Structures are given as structure tokens and as C-alpha cells.
């Protein structure tokens, strides 16, 4: 199945995507990963992206969509995929529909106060990137990563002012996709307020592998 995971920052899209990708044997694809891979592999599109990013610019919809199309044509996507972070806008969704019309949009519904609480209490390892939460997944030793012993820190974009800004950007740019896919009968709501393992159980009931 071809999934689009849609929801605000902190809704748990990435956490669930990792588990679904493993259980359904399909790749979890984020635009960030696509950009990094294209740049690393020095593809023609990758070179364009690098020059834009190096100049401090934003990658256009045309290039982003072309990169996604290129990635979805790879063999590991033949049985499906999870798109996380794409599409972000209606024009991107329109373009995706041209080369991949068969998609199911999974909308992660969650209250703002839960998002703020989740993100503001998240801590990340500087060394290995592992995620912890001082309320729900605290490290065994405060400030120290269980995985590698690295230092845990709070990302700038997990501070409350940044969280509120990210949520505003999401509402303005990406939330319209909910109505877009609902109108096409391609949208399913999931309760993102529950724990990831419980959400995976519900997901599997909705989407039989």
C-alpha cells in the first residue's frame, strides 16, 4: 500500500512509520532523506538541490516532486511506501497524483496541548540521534543517552516558541491537505494521542497487510 502520513509536528508520524515500514516491509521515505541521498549520490537533481541549499534558498515544488518521483521508481517501492513530509502543499499533492494516483492518506489527529507537551519534553542524543522524553521515555541517567552514552539536549525547534511557530506553519501550508484528500475519499483519521505501540495495533486493523 502507498501511504502518506499527515499530521502536525509531534504527532508521532516518524515513530509509527518506522514500525509500519518494518512490519509491512515497505520503505519509510522523508523528503529530507531524499534530498540527502540525491546530494550524496551526486545525481543531476541532487546537484541542483545542493546549490540551492548552499545558497540558502528553498527547494522548489518542481524539483521536490521530481526527486520524489525518482525515489518512488526505485525497486524497494514496488510493494508500497510511506511518505512522511510530502506532499506539504496542494500543488505538491496535485503533482503526486499525476505519477502516483493510488495513495492512502493517514491523518494523525491530536490536540495542540499534547503536541506541545510531547515536543517540549523531548530530548535528543548529540552523538547518535536517539530520542527520549523526560516524561514518557526518560533515560536511565538524566542527560545521558541509554544507547551510546552521549549527551542529551533539547533542540531549538522543540522549545515552546518554535513549536507554536511550526504548528502555525503546518496549519497554513499543510492542513488544507486534510480536506483535499478527504474530498477524494483517500483519507483515514487515526488517534495519534495514544502510545505508538497501541497506534500500530489500530493501524494494522485498518490496513490489512
Which positions are catalytic?
13, 88, 122, 155, 166
Please tell me the distance from the alpha carbon of residue 31 to that of residue 155, in angstroms, as a whole number: 20
Could you tell me how far CA 144 lies from the centroid of its own chain?
26
> From the CB of residue 21, how many other CB atoms can be counted at a distance below 10 Å?
18
Residue 76's CB is within 10 A of a number of other CB atoms, namely 13
Three-state DSSP string of 100-127: CCCCEEEEEECCHHHHHHHHHCEEEECC
Query: Peptide bond preceding 178: is omega within 30 degrees of 0, i.e. cis?
Result: no
Q: Cell for 98? A: 499525476
Check if the beta carbon of residue 20 is closer than 8 Å to that of residue 82.
yes
Which helix or strand (DSSP H or E) is residue 64 part of? helix 61-72
Residues in CB range of 124: below 8 A, 6 or more apart = 130, 131, 132, 152, 153, 154, 155
Amino acid at each position: 500500500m502507498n501511504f502518506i502520513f499527515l499530521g502536525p509536528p509531534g504527532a508521532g508520524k516518524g515513530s509509527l512509520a518506522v514500525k509500519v515500514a518494518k512490519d509491512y516491509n515497505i520503505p519509510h521515505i522523508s523528503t529530507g532523506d531524499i534530498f540527502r541521498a540525491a546530494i550524496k549520490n551526486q545525481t543531476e537533481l541532487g546537484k541542483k538541490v545542493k546549490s540551492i541549499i548552499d545558497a540558502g534558498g528553498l527547494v522548489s515544488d518542481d524539483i521536490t516532486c521530481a526527486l520524489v518521483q525518482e525515489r518512488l521508481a526505485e525497486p524497494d517501492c514496488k510493494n508500497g511506501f510511506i511518505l512522511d513530509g510530502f506532499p506539504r502543499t496542494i500543488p505538491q499533492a496535485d503533482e503526486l497524483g499525476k505519477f502516483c494516483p493510488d495513495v492512502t492518506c493517514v491523518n494523525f489527529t491530536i490536540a495542540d496541548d499534547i503536541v506541545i507537551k510531547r515536543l517540549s519534553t523531548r530530548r535528543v542524543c548529540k552523538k547518535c540521534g536517539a530520542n527520549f522524553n523526560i516524561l514518557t521515555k526518560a533515560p536511565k541517567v538524566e542527560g545521558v543517552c541509554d544507547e551510546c552514552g552521549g549527551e542529551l539536549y533539547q533542540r531549538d525547534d522543540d522549545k515552546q516558541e518554535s513549536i507554536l511557530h511550526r504548528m502555525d506553519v503546518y496549519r497554513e501550508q499543510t492542513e488544507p491537505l486534510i480536506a483535499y484528500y478527504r474530498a477524494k475519499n483517500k483519507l483515514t483519521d487515526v488517534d495519534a494521542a495514544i502510545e505508538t505501540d497501541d497506534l500500530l495495533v489500530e493501524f494494522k486493523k485498518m490496513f490489512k497487510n
